[in-house]
Structure 1
Amino acid sequence: MKLGVFTVLYADKAFDEMLQTVSAKGIKAVELGTGGYPGDAHCKLDELLGDEKKQQEFLEKVASYGLTISALSCHANPLHPQKKIAEEADILFTKTVQLANQLGVPVVNTFSGCPGDHENALYPNWPVAPWPNDFQEILKWQWEEKIIPYWKEKALFAEEHHVKIGLELHGGFSVHTPATLLRLREACGESIGANLDPSHLWWQGIDPVEAIKILGREKAIHHFHAKDTIIDQPNMNRNGLTDMTSYADMQKRAWYFRTVGYGHDAKFWADIISTLRLYGYDYVVSIEHEDGLMSIDEGLSKAAGNLLPILMKDSVGAMWWT
């Protein structure tokens, strides 16, 4: 395994400075945003696409700091009911897959998207209750008319370009649990898998270790985000897990993101790392820093410091004791 980082936290730094900074912290891989919610501070699609000279210079720059690129990330909503928003996200995803192919990057991370509730809707509709039955009808329409048709086409496109799709299981989007990920994968093909982020599982009441087992059995984990979450039980009792309180109002939120080790202890994270390897994931563990109580530098440093001792870097080898 390699320790990586999602470099959007250093969007204010120039490419060279960002690479130097993360390398100095023991990071061995970078996940680069190409647009959408992550922005494109360190990876400009239109400048790199089809330009072999610039691509080679780009890759050599990354390698010069002892780094590799684990994934390109273009999180957006390609199923948004407003056509302009959906089209922009779709073009972004298409170009990102093409660039990943040209750079030899194996994974493109994004969101599944979330449609509206009918053809003329203006905003996404995320059903989270089975009753009243209207919600079931909305969900059925979304999956049959929007989600599966779109991703079936994109999965084939990614497969043709030798790229895997890592969908982040995230609230507010149609794929947000192991079950919804596997439903889409079964309908659309094995190029679709998870960019598994335990922080979004904890607040939904899902044990990340068990989620790794569920997805790992299907070889459906394509990338992994390292981010922690803390549950504030009194606020959870008041607001519930679908808390709409602003992320900025942390004292009143039912849950909020933390740096690795500040929501769950080292033993829990060691179990996560061990279970990843047990079920066949031996790729990059990419830190995503969104801790509102720590600066960027301190949050990344502490996450790296907590993960490096428990990360398994060597290949297993033969069982010499049997």
Structure 2
Amino acid sequence: MKLGVFTVLFSEKPFEEMLDHVKALGLETIEIGTGGYPGNAHCNPGELLENETKLKAFKKAVEDRGLTISSLSCHGNALTPDADFANQSHDAFVKTVQLAEKLEVPTVTTFSGTPGAYEGAKQPSWPVAPWPNEYGDILKWQWQEKLIPYWSEWGQYAADHNVKVALELHGGFLVHSPATLLKLREACGEAIGANVDPSHLWWQGIDPVAAIKILGKHNAIHFFHAKDTYIDQENVNMHGLLDMQSYANMQDRAWYFRSVGYGHDLKTWADIISTLRLVGYDGAVSIEHEDGLMSIDEGFQKAVANLQQVLMKEPAPDMWWL
């Protein structure tokens, strides 16, 4: 496995300065934002696809530092009823897939998307209960009329360009759990897989180790984000896990994001990394930092230091003792 970072964390730094900063901390690979929610501060797919000189310079800057690109991220919502953002998200996805093929990047990370509750709705709708029955009807309509048709076409498009699509299992989107990921994968093909981020599994009450085992049996893990979550049980008792308070209201929230090792101990993270190896995942461990208690650099550096203790970089040995 290679330790890396989702570089939107350093969007204020110029591209090559960001690369130098990442390299100096001993990282090996980078995940770069190309549009959607992460923005495209370091990588504008349209510009690079239209200008071969810029594309070569971009690739050379990464390679000259001994780094690789693990994924291009265009996390957006191509299914939203907001036509402008849906079109932006879709365009970013298509161009990101095209760029990934040119750069020989194996994976594009994004969200599955969430449509409205019905045709003509103004906002996305994320049903979380089967009753009253209209919620179940909404969910069925969303899957049959929006989600599966979209990813049947565009998952195949990615496959045709030798790119895998890693959908982040994130609340608020229709694919947010192992079951929803596998359901979509069965309908749309094996180009669709999971971007496993333990932070979003913990707050849903899902054990990341168990989720990795489930997905691993289907060879359905395409990417991995390293981010932690702290669960405040006293606040869970008040607000539940579907807490709609601002992330900034950390004293009262049921849960909030932490840097790796500050929500769960390193034994837990060692189990996660070991299980990734157990199921055959040998890709990037991409640090995502959204810790409201630490500065960008401090939180990032602590995540690097903690993961270096548990990451396994050398190939597993032959079992000489057998």
Same fold (TM over 0.5): yes
Give the match for residue 143 of structure 2.
Answer: 143
User: Once the 2 structures are TM-superposed, how far is the Cα of residue 83 of structure 1 from its aligned partner?
Assistant: 2.1
Looking at structure 1, the residues matched to 143 and 72 of structure 2 have their Cα atoms a distance apart, in angstroms, of 26
| Contact kept in structure 2, 1:181 and 1:193, CA below 8 Å | yes
Q: CA-atom RMSD, angstroms?
A: 0.8
Per-residue CA deviations over 1:172-192 (Å, capped at 9, x if unaligned) read: 000000000000000000000
Q: Distance in 1 between matches of 2:282 and 2:82?
A: 39
Distance 1:280 1:22 in 2: 26
Name the CA distance, whole Å, in 2 between partners of 1:45 and 1:283.
23
- The aligned counterpart of 1:179 is 179
1:276 pairs with 2:276? yes
| 2:200 is aligned with 1:200 | yes
- Displacement of 1:88 in angstroms is 1.4
Amino acid at match of 2:74: C
Q: Give the Å deviation of 1:26.
A: 1.4
- Secondary structure of the residue aligned to 1:252 is coil
Q: Which residue of 2 aligns with 1:227?
A: 227
In 2: Cα distance, 1:207 partner to 1:218 partner: 18
Greater shift in the superposed pair: 41-50 or 30-39: 41-50
SS of 1:166's partner is: strand
Q: Which residue in the other structure is 1:127 paired with?
A: 127
Q: Partner letter of residue 243 of structure 2?
A: D
Report the Cα distance in structure 2 between the residues aligned to 1:88 and 1:266, rounded to whole angstroms.
Answer: 39
- Tell whether the 8 Å contact from 1:155 to 1:189 is kept in structure 2 after alignment: yes
Aligned residue-pair number: 322
Quick check: 1:27 aligned with 2:18?
Answer: no
**Counterparts of 1:190 and 1:143, CA distance in 2:** 18
Cα contact 1:82–1:121 (8 A) shared by 2: no
**Structure-2 residue corresponding to 1:162:** 162
Partner of 2:92: 92
Per-residue CA shift, 1:232-256, capped at 9, x if unaligned?
1111100000100100111110000
If the length of structure 2 is used for normalisation, what is the TM-score?
A: 0.99
Instruction: State the SS of the aligned residue for 2:62.
Output: helix
Q: Which residue does the alignment assign to 1:64?
A: 64
Q: Which deviations, in whole Å up to 9, do the C-alpha atoms of 1:235-288 show, x marking residues without a partner?
A: 110000010010011111000000000000010000000000000101110000
Distance apart, 1:148 and its partner CA: 0.2
Give the CA deviation at 1:123.
0.3
Q: Which residue does 2:298 correspond to in 1? A: 298
Q: Which runs of 5+ in 1 are unaligned?
A: none
Distance (Å, rounded) in 1 between the aligned partners of 2:52 and 2:160? 20
The alpha carbon displacement at 1:24 in A equals 1.1
Instruction: Write the distance in 2 (CA, Å) between the matches of 1:82 and 1:51.
Output: 31
Residue 169 of structure 1 and its aligned partner are, at CA, apart by 0.5
Give the drift of 1:63. 1.5
Inter-partner Cα distance in structure 2 for 1:14 and 1:318 = 44
* Structure-1 separation of matches of 2:185 and 2:132: 28
Matched residue of 2:222: which SS? Answer: strand
Encode CA deviations 1:25-51: one digit per residue, 9 max, x unaligned.
Answer: 111100000011001111011210143
Q: Secondary structure at the match of 1:291?
A: coil
Q: Structure 2 regions of 5+ residues with no counterpart?
A: none
Aligned to 1:40: 40
Q: Which amino acid aligns with 2:19?
A: L
Distance 2:276 2:124 in 1: 33
What CA distance in whole angstroms lies between the structure 2 residues aligned with 1:229 and 1:35? 25
Q: Distance in 1 between matches of 2:83 and 2:229?
A: 34
Distance in 2, matches of 1:26 and 1:306, equals 13
Aligned partner of 2:317 in structure 1 is 317
**How many Å apart are 1:84 and its aligned residue?**
2.2
SS at match of 1:302: helix
Provide the C-alpha distance between the structure 1 equivalents of 2:228 and 2:155, rounded to a whole number of angstroms.
30
Partners of 1:139 and 1:179 lie apart in 2 by 14
Deviations 1:286-316 (A, max 9, x none): 0000000000000010000000121110111
Q: Which residue of 2 is the match for residue 258 of structure 1?
A: 258
Distance 1:119 1:271, change over 3 A: same
SS at match of 1:70: strand
2:104 alignment partner in structure 1: 104
1:70-119 deviations in whole A, cap 9, x for unaligned? 00000010000122221111111000000000110000000000000111
**3-state SS, counterpart of residue 49 of structure 1:** helix
Does the 8 Å CA contact 1:226/1:288 hold for their aligned counterparts? yes
Comparing 61-70 with 172-181, greater Cα deviation is found at 61-70
Distance 2:82 2:223 in 1: 29
